[in-house]
Amino acid sequence: MKMSIGASVKDKCDPVGGEIGDLAVFGARPAFEDTLHVGRPNIGNREALLLRINKLLDSRWLTNDGTYVQEFEKRVADLTGVKHCIAMCNATVALEIAIRALGLTGEVIVPSFTFVATVHALQWQQITPVFCDIDPRTHNIDPARIEDLITPRTTGIIGVHLWGRPSAINELQAVANRHGLALLFDAAQAFGCKYRGRMIGGFGRAEVLSFHATKFINSGEGGAALTNDDDLAARIRLMKNFGFLGYDEVASIGTNGKMSELSAALGLTNLESIENFTQVNRENFEVYGRELGHLPGLSLLRYDEEESPNYQYVVVEIEAAKAGITRDELLAVLHAENVLARRYFYPGVHRMEPYRSSFPRSGLALPETEALASRVLVLPTGTAVKTADIGKICAIIRVAIEHGAEISKALVSARQ
């Protein structure tokens, strides 16, 4: 009996012998009534959170280095084994403050294949970002390409631990040492992860974490700078609180980068569920791995257990020539089914403003970044996504690839 894609994908998750007319992108009913997102927040124990919020309201102390922020900083410092954790309102401000406290000026080398905030944090301080290409195997900055980019104006390097997978830290540190450059890590996605047996947080001069709603552990909005350097920590602490040393005494320029007590309450509560979040993420990842393992032209980015991954991102690369369908066509198929997969970090920061206008030719030196930006797709995971949903998502992807050429042709003619 011939089964249609609609029946198989949408009801049975078994797309044998389907017809492309049953896909929502061609007008059929979407597989999901409610949209599935990348980055639905992981939520810990509600009662524990409400208890904390009640105490907070009773205390009438809502921000400015309250007890929850202090406790959150201590927990994060203990967990990462780093001497100082300075919690802040988000990772973007934490990056800006760390960059300023490190005294970076002139030019700083940074990957373009990252969330735009990494680069904006430099530009915001009037520092010129110098884009470095990535290693296509790791998606992280390629240390072998850095020395060619160093000029007399270069003061630092920012490595990003993308998807929670650590950068080539030793190699980056060696380049930084050779040239007297400060090394800073954007560890926004890497909370809980390790590099060669040591927790992310204590590498380089400082590392910055994000606790945004979409992150593995969230505090709604939130971030932190981590460092083992006492002086740097003191400068960062001052800067995130207007430069105040005490009542009426301002020691330096500063801003308002403080984390609120409400955010810290959420962060502390979610931290208590860290093992559960990791387990759910890992199980989701394994289901994706089993279901998508052997599709032509699709490869799933793997994690190394030794690096204690948080599995917060399920990242696939689509090679159109083998899959028969482009990444963007697959994205259109998924979006029509209400699966809001994302093209992180398309098209690369160098193709976003103001960088596109300032450095119109930078793409020429970023072939790996440009190629990768056209291949990557990030799929929904986290505690809000059910195993059955993942089965359905994978069934849609299987159908899309099994009928890749046909779907591609139909989409092209629909556009004409």
CA dist 124 and 278 (Å) reads: 34
Q: What is the nearest approach in angstroms of ligand T4K to the Cβ of residue 120?
A: 9
Q: Which is nearer to ligand T4K, 323 or 349 (CB)?
A: 349
- Which x/- pattern, by CB under 6 A, does the window 313-342 give for ligand T4K? ---------------------------x--
Q: What is the nearest approach in angstroms of ligand T4K to the Cβ of residue 142?
A: 17
Q: Which is nearer to ligand T4K, 15 or 380 (CB)?
A: 380
8, 42, 112, 118: residue in contact with ligand T4K (rule CB under 6 A): 118
Q: Which is nearer to ligand T4K, 42 or 362 (CB)?
A: 42
Q: What is the nearest approach in angstroms of ligand T4K to the Cβ of residue 277?
A: 15
Q: Rule CB under 6 A: say whether 68 interacts with ligand T4K.
A: no
Q: Which is nearer to ligand T4K, 192 or 404 (CB)?
A: 192
117, 119, 330, 373: residue in contact with ligand T4K (rule CB under 6 A): 117
Peptide bond into 309 cis (omega under 30): no
Q: Rule CB under 6 A: say whether 189 interacts with ligand T4K.
A: yes
Give how many residues touch ligand T4K by CB under 6 A: 23
Q: Which is nearer to ligand T4K, 68 or 346 (CB)?
A: 346
38, 102, 119, 266: residue in contact with ligand T4K (rule CB under 6 A): 38
Q: What is the nearest approach in angstroms of ligand T4K to the Cβ of residue 290?
A: 25
Q: Rule CB under 6 A: say whether 31 interacts with ligand T4K.
A: no
- Which x/- pattern, by CB under 6 A, does the window 270-309 give for ligand T4K? ----------------------------------------
Span of 36-44, 193-201, 242-250, 314-322 interacting with ligand T4K by CB under 6 A: 36-44
Q: Rule CB under 6 A: say whether 90 interacts with ligand T4K.
A: yes
CA-based R_g, the chain, Å: 23
CA dist 243 and 236 (Å) reads: 9
Site residues for ligand T4K, window 193-232 (CB under 6 A)? 210, 212-214, 223
Q: Which residues bind ligand T4K (CB under 6 A)?
A: 37-41, 90-92, 114-115, 117-118, 160, 186, 188-189, 210, 212-214, 223, 340, 344
